[in-house]
Amino acid sequence: METELKLAVLIDGDNIPAAYVKEMMEEIAKYGNPTIKRIYGDWTKPTLTTWKTILLENAITPIQQYGYTTGKNATDSAMIIDAMDILYSEKVNGFCLVSSDSDFTRLATRLREAGMKVFGIGEKKTPQPFIVACDKFIYIEILKNQSGEVESDTTKGGKTARKNEVDKVTPSVIKLISSTISDLADEEGWAYLGDVGNLLQKKQPNFDSRNYGFQKLTPLIKSINKFEIEQRENLKGRFKLIYVRIKE
């Protein structure tokens, strides 16, 4: 049985809305046990007062970091220093960096070089370099959408608002899926869907079926109409194995 990851969750409080924390912590729990949970920011600022109750409810430790110089983000430096201290303490084997700031790109790269599993969580505005530096990157907006909640500025009702935030399945997405299936296919063109999902994640860390309005990869594949899906008996378990291939 695979050992559960022990995760250090480090949150850039200046860069992530407090409204997302509940869904975010539930998502992190899917990947491992968050044994260290810290959030960084200047807690003397009125803009961070909304965090107080949320931190208590989720047992997240606030780390005070004053902004010593105007225009410089001292929070980033404190978070990076703590991450390296945690790395060398050998108390965890994975990190979750919560920010939309590209300043953490080098940190994510360094942690992965040290053999750590690195998850990133941030808004869709997150720069691509930080996204690809992580093993997996999750857009925080989709976590809010799946909980059934919407942003306060919606004007046409919940369903419409959520639909507008879902990305379209573009030709480039279809090409990515097709090439991944081809990479793994047997002589008859079939590829095990679990392997396809894993390779998609390696190729594009922010690939997530939920970005396109689907909770799982299988319904996303079915919706495209360019692929065939086949269920096969699993001799080692009660759940059937799902295979996919490109339609001829």
Per-residue pLDDT of 138-185, as tens digits, reads 999 888 766 554 443 333 444 433 444 678 899 999 999 999 999 999
User: What domains lie within the chain, and their CATH numbers?
Assistant: 5-164 (3.40.50.1010), 171-246 (3.30.420.610)
pLDDT score of 74: 61
Q: Which of the two residues, 49 and 207, has the higher pLDDT score?
A: 207
65, pLDDT greater than 90: no
Q: Which of the two residues, 209 and 64, has the higher pLDDT score?
A: 209
**In the chain, what is the straight-line distance between the N-terminal and C-terminal CA atoms, in Å?**
39
pLDDT score of 70: 47
pLDDT score of 238: 77
Q: Of the given ranges (12-16, 102-106, 137-141, 228-232), which has the lowest mean pLDDT? A: 12-16
SS (H, E, C) the chain: CCCCEEEEEEEECCCCCHHHHHHHHHHHCCCEEEEEEEEEECCCCHHHCCHHHHHHHHCCEEEECCCCCCCCCHHHHHHHHHHHHHHHHCCCCEEEEECCCHHHHHHHHHHHHCCCEEEEEECCCCCHHHHHHCCEEEEHHHHHHHCCCCCCCCCCCHHHHHHHHCCCCCHHHHHHHHHHHHHHCCCCCCEEHHHHHHHHHHHCCCCCHHHHCCCCHHHHHHHHCCEEEEEECCCCCCCCEEEEEECC
Distance in angstroms (rounded) separating the CA atoms of residues 133 and 105: 6
8, pLDDT greater than 80: yes
Question: If you average pLDDT over residues 124-144, what whole number do you get?
Answer: 93
pLDDT score of 68: 57
Q: How far is CA 194 from the centre of its chain?
A: 18
Sheet containing strand 61-64, strands side by side: 61-64, 32-41, 5-12, 94-98, 117-122, 136-139
Question: If you average pLDDT over residues 186-191, what whole number do you get?
Answer: 95
